[in-house]
Amino acid sequence: MSRPMLLNVILVCIALSPMAAHGEGPAPATKIGPAPETVKAFQDDFRLVGIGVSARGRVFATAPAGRVRSSDSMVEVNPRTGELTPYPDAAWNKFDEQGKGASQWISVQALWVDGKDHLWALDSSLPKVDQDRLPPKLVEFDLSSNRIIRQYDFTGVVSPKDALNDVRIDVVHNFAYLTNAGNKGSLVVLDLKTGNARQVLVADRSTFADPKQHLMIGKEAALRPDGSVVAIHADGIALSPDSQWLYYRPLTDHNYWRVPTAALRDTRLSDAELAKKVEYLGSSVLSGGLIMDRNGTLYGGDLEQGSVVAITRTPSHTLATKVFVRDPSKLSWADGFAISQGYLYIADSHLWEVAFKNGLPRSGPFTIFRVRLPERRRYAR
């Protein structure tokens, strides 16, 4: 899949709507969760996509650049007053195409707060800029000082046709794992100690969206401006609580996969040998972002039913899907996720209404919600 302008828009926001996707879907889910609370609703000058929440409850949000560039690319949100502060400062949020990519946000796609309470920002860059000078980057912040610890780039690893979409940090093994939703689909494995990165599982059945399934808007497939059907490859990603498994999936099909992180880190494995380590988990909802809680439950946005679901593995190793949040009057497209202090945080990016040629009227503001998580669940391996 090429990466034209709309693809960047799609990948910077990956909306919940009661719309059907083409292809065989999962059985209807049952409800288990409470109503969402609003943390912050944004105006159109901040087109929310990614969120990160620290262990102490500091809330961060991103607005990647697509057809519209927001007033800031990354902000900290005061959850009590709603005040927004450019992060790490205003200078980083003033994009200049002739400027230095190492000290400005180009298009911040995703955020993650790791087990050490460090904030990670994934800047996917843009296909229209000179990526030799303004490459994608991953930036680590020390939240105790708000200072940058280290920056990583992906020069020679990804091309402008690729689209880094989401990231998880493995503090046990000192690695980062990223999804590439563009080009042919892949995972990117980054050694945080050496800074060396590589693409793996390129165009694998687990990273490349099933071409027989589509994201539907009403009775029509979601379309790019040129009229071609949208296909979004490896997108949602989650790391198991013990850092032994990486869960991931393409956006525009119903398939769920996982791979041992040990296999991803093993540079001795050939492409074919690594592909054999991948496990197919089964079919569930067509979702964008994913997150796994400490008990091993996967949460994701159901793009067909206007909900957030909880997914667990049964003793027979099939997927059990239950509705965790359903409030179509509020929720459009559950994109980014974060977990902190017993709450699941949800970024609603309204992608249905802002990114596709099909077009839909805006159903509400870009909003961060939160929902209290259940106290205990069994970690289903």
pLDDT digits (tens, 9 = 90+) for 210-265: 999 998 877 888 888 788 898 999 999 999 999 999 999 999 999 999 999 999 99
Please give the pLDDT value at position 10.
41
Assigned CATH topology for domain 5-372: Neuraminidase (2.120.10)
Please give the pLDDT value at position 32.
57
Q: What pLDDT, in 10s, does the model give residues 276-310?
A: 999 999 999 999 899 999 999 999 999 878 789 99
Tokens of 125: 């860059």
The residue among 292, 301, 308 whose CA lies nearest residue 246 is: 292
The residue among 65, 89, 61 whose CA lies nearest residue 75 is: 61
Cβ count within 10 A of residue 305: 21
d(CA 325, CA 309): 7
CA distances to 99, 167, 201, 260, 287 from 248, rounded to whole Å, are 34, 11, 12, 12, 11
Q: Of the given ranges (197-211, 294-308, 337-351), which has the lowest mean pLDDT?
A: 294-308
Cβ count within 10 A of residue 43: 10
**Domain residue ranges of the chain, discontinuous segments joined by +:** 5-372
How far separated are the first and last CA of the chain, in Å rounded?
A: 33
The residue among 257, 308, 256, 254 whose CA lies nearest residue 286 is: 254
Please give the pLDDT value at position 366.
95
Q: Which amino acid, 178?
A: L
CA distances to 310, 320, 339 from 372, rounded to whole Å, are 13, 20, 10
Helices (H) and strands (E) in the chain, counts: 4, 27
Please give the pLDDT value at position 31.
55
Q: What pLDDT, in 10s, does the model give residues 90-116?
A: 999 999 999 989 999 999 999 999 999
CA distances to 1, 3, 82, 156, 165 from 162, rounded to whole Å, are 9, 7, 35, 12, 9
